[in-house]
Amino acid sequence: MTDSLDPDDWGVFRAEAHRLLDASLDRLEDARNRPWQPVPQDVRDGYHLQSDEPGQPIVQIVTTLQDQMMPYATGNTHPRFFGWVHGTGMADGILSEMVAATMNANCGGRDHGMVYVEREVIDWTRRQMGFPQGASGVLVTGTSQATVIALQAARVRAMANVRATGQTDARLTAYAGAGVHNAARKALELLGIGNDNLRLVPTTEDGLDLAALGSQIIADRAEGAIPFAIFGTAGSVDFGDYDDLNALADIAGDQGLWLHIDAAFGAWTRLADAPYRQLTDGIGRADSMACDFHKWMAVPYDCGIVLIRNETEHRAAFAARPAYLTGMDSGLAGGDPWFCDYGVDLSRGNRALKVWTAIKAHGTAKLGRTITANCERAAQMGALVTATPPMAMAAPVVSNLCVFTADARLEPDAQSKLNMQISQDLQNEGVAVFSTTLAVIGGKSVTCLRAAITNHRTTSKDVEIALAAVARAAGHA
């Protein structure tokens, strides 16, 4: 018995690790037969941690991980998981996470390989998005976090001393289309700007209404507010809509406002074929953008990125290093710039390696083909809905989202109830996972079924099976 937490017997540990790896690969290879399932009460009870937990042999740990943990995942690895916007993950994620856990690098800074890998991932993303050379970025948990970072940079541009003085009584206002993701609101709350100061601008078929945006900015200025940022949306969470990013860049330039693009999943149409690629035209003109790798790029959770056009503005919002973090010209304390100066976190996990591995293993073109294929399958689903009354679409399919009602003949409340019931039933049966959202159909608000297809395992056949299940659950078949 030593004080070390290393295995007492590396041979035993190694054998058990290989057993667990086989179980992991078995599970992933069989993903098609492993939908979400509820967690039985006795399994949940088995998760309990006693205050004086005694410790267990590794063989028991591995058995528990295999039998009591692995089966009870979110289910987003299943080919008919279309709920919310969940990435599917992929097998090489197991490899990169295994290596990351072995290395256990702190990517907050210093001079080591994973810092250089992260710079490569950021720069590859910068080029795909069309941001200029010299733009900066940092990997984060996801778009919510990236939005906070981008918005703080935008605020520091508008109020140079805000890091010292705080928000004071200057009323900063931000602008977004009505379908903007809730992350925008949460970021404004966290920063002390206030969600009252998020101006929701009406949207048209072409995204945010540009005339209404202009009028609102003028009206706010007249009232003494300081307009400082526009949120553009590239892939709205409800319907997969895209704002006209070039038009927003023009307005932001004219008005001297910071343009931030929420592109959590939608950014990756940049890798897709026409007509999907065109949806993100102009994204490279923004001052900042946020997107995820764990959604449409299928790297394991969690991993997102913020890109900021002007590195000086990025650093002005976050750089700060006390004495014990002083850099040096050689050794571990070299490696400037350090990523801790580009966001909130000082200790940082290794998110770069899993992205790097995914890009290197699959290549840019194949990653793009999965994006195109997902959009094509959403279009297929939309066509099937339209061809199968009384199912009806809530909105046209623009990219990878399909929102519909199972029976348009019913009263709105009855439709909502039916759609919610179908969503739950198909989840519980393990057939398919649709989530729900509110949509306006015929002037009435209806809770609809919603499929966000960001799943590289989804085939045309899966779309047919899922829609047939909806029809059956709705009593049409």
Among 168, 205, 223, 274, the residue binding its own copies under the rule CB under 8 A is: 168
Beta carbon nearer to its own copies, 36 or 242: 36
CB of 291 to its own copies, least distance (A): 12
Beta carbon nearer to its own copies, 299 or 385: 299
Question: Is residue 348 a contact partner of residue 118, using CB atoms and an 8 Å limit?
Answer: no
408 makes contact with its own copies (CB under 8 A): no
Among 92, 209, 311, 336, the residue binding its own copies under the rule CB under 8 A is: 92
Beta carbon nearer to its own copies, 103 or 414: 103
The two tokens of residue 370 are 């999965």
Q: How many residues bind its own copies (CB under 8 A)?
A: 183
- CA within 13 Å, CB half, 148: 18
CB of 444 to its own copies, least distance (A): 15
Among 82, 107, 252, 471, the residue binding its own copies under the rule CB under 8 A is: 107
Place of tokens 């992929």: 90
AA letter at 396: P
Binding to its own copies, residues 123-162 (CB under 8 A): 123-124, 127-128, 141-145, 148, 152, 155, 162
What is the C-alpha to C-alpha distance for residues 230 and 143, in angstroms, rounded to an integer?
16
Stretch that binds its own copies, among 226-234, 275-283, 367-375, 469-477 (CB under 8 A): 367-375
Stretch that binds its own copies, among 85-93, 222-230, 253-261, 464-472 (CB under 8 A): 85-93
323 makes contact with its own copies (CB under 8 A): yes
CB-based contacts of 14-17 (< 8 A; 24+ apart in sequence): 16/58, 16/59, 16/61, 16/62, 17/62
What is the C-alpha to C-alpha distance for residues 90 and 76, in angstroms, rounded to an integer?
11
User: DSSP string spanning 282-320?
Assistant: TGGGSSEEEEESSSTT-PPSS-EEEEES-HHHHHHHH--
CB of 200 to its own copies, least distance (A): 12
Among 42, 133, 326, 443, the residue binding its own copies under the rule CB under 8 A is: 326
CB of 261 to its own copies, least distance (A): 17
293 makes contact with its own copies (CB under 8 A): no
Number of H helices, E strands in the chain: 14, 13
Closest listed residue to residue 134, CA positions, set 314, 261, 270, 305 = 314
CB of 389 to its own copies, least distance (A): 25
The DSSP secondary-structure symbol of 86 reads -
Beta carbon nearer to its own copies, 6 or 205: 6
Binding to its own copies, residues 193-222 (CB under 8 A): 193-197
The two tokens of residue 225 are 């507010």
